Structure 1
Amino acid sequence: MSSHSCHEVDKAHRKSKKNVGSLESLPLQLQNAYDEQSGAFKNINEIRQTFASKGPKDFQKIRILGRGGVGKVYLVRLKNTDKLFAMKVLKQDEMIQKNKVKRVLTEREILATANHPFIVNLYYSFQTRSRLYFVMDYCAGGEFYRTIQTQPNKCLTEDQIRFYAAEVLLALEYLHMMGFIYRDLKPENILLHASGHIRLTDFDLCKASVTPVNVRVIQSMMGNSVALVAEPSLVTNSFVGTEEYLAPEVIKGRGYRASVDWWTFGILLYEMLYGITPFRGVNRYDTFSKIEKSQLKFPDRQHSSVSKECKNLIRKLLLHDPKKRLGSEHGATEIRAHPFFGKITWPLLLNMTPPLVPTLSGPQDTRYFSNRIVDDEKDAEDLEAIDASSLEANHPFKSFTSLNREREAPVKAASKETEMEKKIYKKKSSKQLSSREAESNSKGAAEEPYKRDSKSHKSLSRSHRSKIKSKLEFSNSEEANVGSKCTKDSVIASSGSQDSDCLIDQKSVVLQKPPHKR
């Protein structure tokens, strides 16, 4: 136990029995370790035991929320508490077989160090002999893509776009300051929390900067104050991302920087505005061709007009020249200073009332997740957590160490509602859902709340790979060595090398019928 925790124990121990109410400020384990009859804490060894790493047996599964090619996501409850979490379970043998070891370790590295209100929180991570576990925020609103699809005309108003774009922008800015390029921004990788705020998730395609990020001080564009700018300096030509969101420089394979995230941010704004992406083609090559050559067009919105500020922001974000793209020089500071965000009070964004708050009947209401997902697990799950230090030095998951961020987990029991939760958890049965919500649920619009994982398919032939390289005009032949994998609503081209970063998540070309048609 840390010296800080010991100090808290000693401090609380010195308090009299009349002052036990002050223990509420302590971690839950210390509260449970207090003996009210004797007015003292239990044996220090028992307290240390409460801080031990968690394992699968410490959580009760409530229902499955989503599934992918190599893992599943469950709604779970921490035993002896009312705390709810989303638990992501990955099979180690499938991760090794499908060459995704590096990706899962990258995601854990980011989640273990990130601490931001608009990035999903990781509270526990551990492993057994056969599986890896991530215990994270449970976002009851599900995928943000589903939220967009259930709105009138399948798009958002400008005020709604401004609010959620601001939250996404701050999350991207934070990742850049940490030295990561996100590279896979899309509505499916944004979750809607029960509070109505968003959480950015799925970081396995992030690219980390090898060197520390240089922090620069510049004159603020929003006043006379100064601003800090910290953008990753790394250059990579990895062919990775979602097809309709790929930046032109990624397709050309000539190397790109963190400005690719500002291109994807512009595509996200466009999709929230119109319900479609701007450069979608009839097939993969048509989409790539439009991204490289087509001019940006804004169709008419019959239900509402689009402001000049909104169009101007999207145009500046979707400039084909990455050096001229908004955000390429001073990062998110440039974008936050744009007139479109003039109504946003950035320091108070988390305290603002979100425009879209999920309608929930209680903490365990899962109406925003598909009921068609079945947990058909046949293998017996190993519930005994192991210490990564006990693994052999060459074990692929040797660095997947246990993590316990209990002090950062939700403190209040989920069954005790605050005044804010009473507004969130409106007593509204599923039968009272709007026709739009009911239809969306019946169709299983959100098959999975987290990033869809691929199903295994045979690799592309050598001639097919050569065709892709010639079509996309890759400058680096190693980056163009792609294979073929498929998901329910996407096609992923990935190389056979574990260390390769050549991945394409394709939306428009499908090998199977997608759960939500774009």
Structure 2
Amino acid sequence: METSATKLHLDQIRALKLLGKGATGTVFLVHDSVSDSSASSPFALKLVDKASASSLRRAKWETQILRRLSDEPNPFLPRLLATSESSEFFAWAMPYCSGGDLNVLRHRQNDGVFSSSVIKFYLAEILCALDHLHSMGIAYRDLKPENILLQESGHVTLTDFDLSCSLNKPTRPEFYLSDPEPDPKLKTSLRFFRQKKKTKSARVNPITRRRMSFSGGERSNSFVGTDEYISPEVIRGDGHDFAVDWWALGVLTYEMMYGATPFKGRSKKETFRNVLMKEPEFPGKPSDLTDLIRRLLVKDPTRRLGFRRGAAEIKEHAFFRGVKWEILTEVLRPPFIPLRDDGESTENVTASGFGVKEYFEKLRTPLPHECPENNPFVDF
């Protein structure tokens, strides 16, 4: 669907189904009932209720990132189709990825893991996407299987950029170097997390990012990410840079290979302690793949693979031997081609669909037992 912000009107948008709910907004598969009455070109619509100031702030930040990606397109990153804003809602449209996400796909495999060749294919495309983001000065900071979608063609697309941040790319690697003091910092970090109040969400909110700006400096001190994917430098509060994405790439690769993340504990505190102190375990024989993971999961970011020369350094690893980076998008037969409407949905509806505004109004309506019997605004 090719559209513009002036052509996206929520009143004429009909949702075919609910695709998911996240920290930033609710995602629907929709079509324009006027320009596309047959729903032949559906697209994804992410919508935020403006009653939540934090969600709105993050939503507008994400659309800023998407606008930049639309100006500098990459085959493994989304583009912004349109935005719409009313007194109640803020919404933005993106292309629909019909193949679901990488987490769903992995669980569909016989052993819940991918083969080495499949891992190589997906990692190569994810690596190119991260390389493009970093070249624009954007640290992704939320890499995980649920945020890697499969296009209709079988190629990947990263999604969810509300935790991303802009950093100045250094002109020399030494720019990031600092005096390492591993042992004291580990002890300080563990004391900090013993005192830290538990939160219900596994995803850490970007509470320290207050201004939506693309001039963010060389390092960020925000505590953001998903527990099992958070890097040691984020936990330590040292300040972090693009190397956090290479750490997350290592965790992702481990999960694709073994079906579980390497540092998951019984609690948030134990998970963070494992990230700081524990080395990943590699059952089976050593291989180029396990060596790649090991070098990505180096706790000192200045020694981590990719720190000095970015994605170019990782592409040179032996695991990627034989990959033709310049023609990745020309692969006509990716490992898995989604069936028609193969994506996971949480709600199915009739072909006529439903209004997205009505969906939220229904959520706001209290259940009958929650309403005073004399409430004249409740229709029983």
TM-score of the aligned structures, taking structure 2 as reference length:
0.74
Asked if 1:289 is matched to 2:287, the reply is: no
Question: Which residue number corresponds to residue 346 of structure 2?
Answer: 370
1:376 Cα offset (Å): 10
Question: Which residue number corresponds to residue 29 of structure 2?
Answer: 75
Question: Which residue number corresponds to residue 113 of structure 1?
Answer: 68
3-state SS of paired residue (1:256): coil
Question: Which residue number corresponds to residue 132 of structure 2?
Answer: 174
1:263 Cα offset (Å): 0.3
Question: Which residue number corresponds to residue 57 of structure 1?
Answer: 11
3-state SS of paired residue (2:123): helix
Report if the CA contact (8 A) 1:66-1:373 is conserved.
Answer: no
Report if the CA contact (8 A) 2:129-2:158 is conserved.
Answer: yes
How do residues 48-447 of structure 1 correspond to structure 2 at under 5 angstroms?
Answer: 52-68=6-22, 71-78=25-32, 79-81=34-36, 82-94=40-52, 96=53, 99-114=54-69, 115-209=73-167, 211=168, 213=169, 234-300=218-284, 308-352=287-331, 353-360=333-340, 365=341, 368-371=344-347, 380=358
Q: 1:335 to 1:381 in 2, by over 3 A?
A: same
Give, as a single letter, the amino acid of the residue that structure 2 aligns with 1:318.
L
Q: 1:311 to 1:93 in 2, by over 3 A?
A: same
CA distance in 1, matches of 2:356, 2:156: 34
3-state SS of paired residue (2:81): strand
1:116 Cα offset (Å): 1.2
Report if the CA contact (8 A) 1:67-1:373 is conserved.
Answer: no
Larger radius of gyration: 1
**CA deviations over 1:328-358 (Å, ceiling 9, x no partner):** 0000010011111112100110111210111
Number of aligned pairs? 308
**Alignment gaps of 5+ in structure 1:** 1-26, 30-49, 217-231, 301-305, 383-518
Give, as a single letter, the amino acid of the residue that structure 2 aligns with 1:249.
E
1:68 Cα offset (Å): 3.6
**Alignment gaps of 5+ in structure 2:** 173-215, 361-380
TM-score of the aligned structures, taking structure 1 as reference length:
0.55
Report if the CA contact (8 A) 1:140-1:194 is conserved.
Answer: yes
Q: 1:171 to 1:69 in 2, by over 3 A?
A: closer
1:70 Cα offset (Å): 5.9
Give, as a single letter, the amino acid of the residue that structure 1 aligns with 2:328.
L
CA distance in 2, matches of 1:263, 1:331: 12
Q: 1:370 to 1:51 in 2, by over 3 A?
A: closer
3-state SS of paired residue (1:87): strand
Q: 1:51 to 1:143 in 2, by over 3 A?
A: closer
**CA deviations over 1:412-455 (Å, ceiling 9, x no partner):** xxxxxxxxxxxxxxxxxxxxxxxxxxxxxxxxxxxxxxxxxxxx
Q: 1:267 to 1:28 in 2, by over 3 A?
A: closer
CA distance in 2, matches of 1:52, 1:295: 52
Q: 1:366 to 1:63 in 2, by over 3 A?
A: farther
Identity fraction in percent: 36
CA distance in 2, matches of 1:159, 1:51: 41
1:214 Cα offset (Å): 5.4
3-state SS of paired residue (1:199): strand
CA distance in 2, matches of 1:200, 1:373: 27
Q: 1:331 to 1:64 in 2, by over 3 A?
A: same
Report if the CA contact (8 A) 2:149-2:159 is conserved.
Answer: yes
Report if the CA contact (8 A) 2:10-2:356 is conserved.
Answer: no
1:67 Cα offset (Å): 2.4
CA distance in 2, matches of 1:51, 1:182: 25
